[in-house]
Chains A and B, each alone.
Chain A
């Protein structure tokens, strides 16, 4: 083949091949079952149909009593992702969003929701990156695979073990927040960070990466 024809063929191959290869090597946006399916369904309100006319009554002392707080998670470890990060108890930021540790190498636990292992969805979340600090502890979340094992250890050293059942990239406006932050239903561990396209004008990502894990039996 003459050089001119060869360059025409090679050029075409590059023109078609580059986007094709890019598309083929992109990570899958989701793995496992959908997030909403992995989280416990909200309980249906009880009807009055089968209520006895008068219920059995239990009474208790109403004197003020000290509340016993569940031990807070202190560390998250995921060997498959090379993650071993300290966990801070966090609440609500001034803008109403979940508060996250400023240090992207740390992970926040939503302290108003369940602790890992209690009923409902225990939420651990962290910044995926920061312009000065670089990538965050939960950066590998976007590549989580079904079956990956996660260990969360509390301050007393008690560990809960979890297995990933779902990973999904969800537009922030479409997050099922009531399910992600559910306080009842079977215990789940929900990990959240940012992902999807970066929107420089908002200095923010368009989507959240959500991973849901079930307790290891």
Chain B
């Protein structure tokens, strides 16, 4: 993830021009990529532009786009305050030539850095299959806050997570009660919230916000990573075995042959 982090912070120098690269997961679709956009900057509705065209109008903080299927290629992204006249003025954030490689699954997040300045971070989503019965959960720190711990049912499962890092776990499918605490303390910063970690899906949880506007969780779910059971067991007694009568049939047949043989022998003897 170090590459990604570097790229993320490169974009974070606000209005950076240049090579953001989304690291491709192993190619699935031939020439498309799956991209979602999450808005995690409090109190700032925005318009999102891609290649000079408006992609999202009046995008509200705390909302997530549905997954977009985009042709692979390079995109110039720019984010303007939503109340600005279309395409005019200074962008709040901008990133040119964001490479969207074929087969990638990514989420571009507009959020605050730890010090409160706005930034764009592209995260690569792990869309590889999980074992049957399992779920994947990823937590991403995109809030203007220091290091945090993430707890499930009161037990820390991710410790010392800093902005804009992420951590991923694979767990049995279940519903958990999660909260976020300041690292190494029991001081709850966000939550608790019930999260359904559905089998064969990836649940991505973002901590976002700042001290003034408050902190919150945003949840993104990616499905279709399920695997099949290895098989279906189903019996231990052999009662349904339709070949179990075979030895008896064979015995009958042999007995028949013996009787026939004896008969033939007697016929031969009588003649002789």
**Is B258 in contact with A57, judged by CB distance below 8 angstroms?**
no
**Using Cβ atoms and an 8 Å threshold, which residues of chain A touch B193?**
64
**Is A51 in contact with B252, judged by CB distance below 8 angstroms?**
no
**Is A4 in contact with B228, judged by CB distance below 8 angstroms?**
no
**Is B242 in contact with A46, judged by CB distance below 8 angstroms?**
no
A15 within 8 A of B: yes
A156 within 8 A of B: no
- Pick from A51, A96, A175, A193: contact of B71, CB below 8 A: A51
**Using Cβ atoms and an 8 Å threshold, which residues of chain B touch A134?**
237, 239
B238 within 8 A of A: yes
**Is A55 in contact with B68, judged by CB distance below 8 angstroms?**
yes
- Pick from A4, A45, A58, A92: contact of B266, CB below 8 A: A4
- Pick from A8, A62, A135, A198: contact of B38, CB below 8 A: A62
**Using Cβ atoms and an 8 Å threshold, which residues of chain B touch A129?**
235-240
- Pick from A26, A46, A58, A194: contact of B240, CB below 8 A: A194
Q: How far is A16 from B250 in the complex, measured between Cα atoms in Å?
A: 10
Range of interface residues on A (Cβ < 8 Å) = 35 or more
Q: How far is A194 from B262 in the complex, measured between Cα atoms in Å?
A: 44
| Number of residues on chain B facing chain A (CB within 8 A) | 82
For residue B224, give the distance in angstroms from its CB to the closest CB of chain A.
8
Q: How far is A127 from B59 in the complex, measured between Cα atoms in Å?
A: 53
**Is A63 in contact with B216, judged by CB distance below 8 angstroms?**
yes
Contact bitstring A15-29, B, C-beta under 8 A = 1, else 0: 111110010001100
**Using Cβ atoms and an 8 Å threshold, which residues of chain B touch A26?**
242
B84 within 8 A of A: no
- Pick from A18, A53, A131, A175: contact of B237, CB below 8 A: A131
For residue A173, give the distance in angstroms from its CB to the closest CB of chain B.
9
Residues of chain B in range 224-272 having any CB-CB distance to chain A below 8 Å: 226, 228-246, 249-250, 252-264, 266-267, 270
For residue B59, give the distance in angstroms from its CB to the closest CB of chain A.
6
B195 within 8 A of A: yes
**Is A96 in contact with B132, judged by CB distance below 8 angstroms?**
yes
**Is A63 in contact with B236, judged by CB distance below 8 angstroms?**
no
**Using Cβ atoms and an 8 Å threshold, which residues of chain B touch A9?**
260, 263
Q: How far is A62 from B254 in the complex, measured between Cα atoms in Å?
A: 76
**Is A22 in contact with B246, judged by CB distance below 8 angstroms?**
yes
A217 within 8 A of B: no
**Is A177 in contact with B231, judged by CB distance below 8 angstroms?**
yes
**Using Cβ atoms and an 8 Å threshold, which residues of chain A touch B270?**
2, 4
A158 within 8 A of B: no
B6 within 8 A of A: no
**Is A195 in contact with B132, judged by CB distance below 8 angstroms?**
no
**Using Cβ atoms and an 8 Å threshold, which residues of chain B touch A175?**
231-232
B170 within 8 A of A: no
**Is B241 in contact with A198, judged by CB distance below 8 angstroms?**
yes
**Using Cβ atoms and an 8 Å threshold, which residues of chain B touch A13?**
256
**Using Cβ atoms and an 8 Å threshold, which residues of chain A touch B216?**
63
Do A91 and B133 form a contact, CB below 8 Å, given A97-B231, A203-B236? Answer: yes
Which A-chain residue is minimally distant from B256 (CB atoms)?
A14
Q: How far is A59 from B217 in the complex, measured between Cα atoms in Å?
A: 16
Known: A62-B62, A208-B232. 12 other contacts (CB 8 A): A14-B260, A47-B29, A57-B65, A59-B64, A64-B195, A67-B196, A98-B233, A110-B229, A128-B235, A172-B232, A193-B240, A203-B236
14 residue pairs from A and B, CB less than 8 Å apart: A11-B257, A18-B249, A45-B29, A54-B51, A59-B66, A61-B62, A64-B195, A98-B233, A127-B236, A128-B240, A134-B239, A196-B241, A198-B240, A208-B234
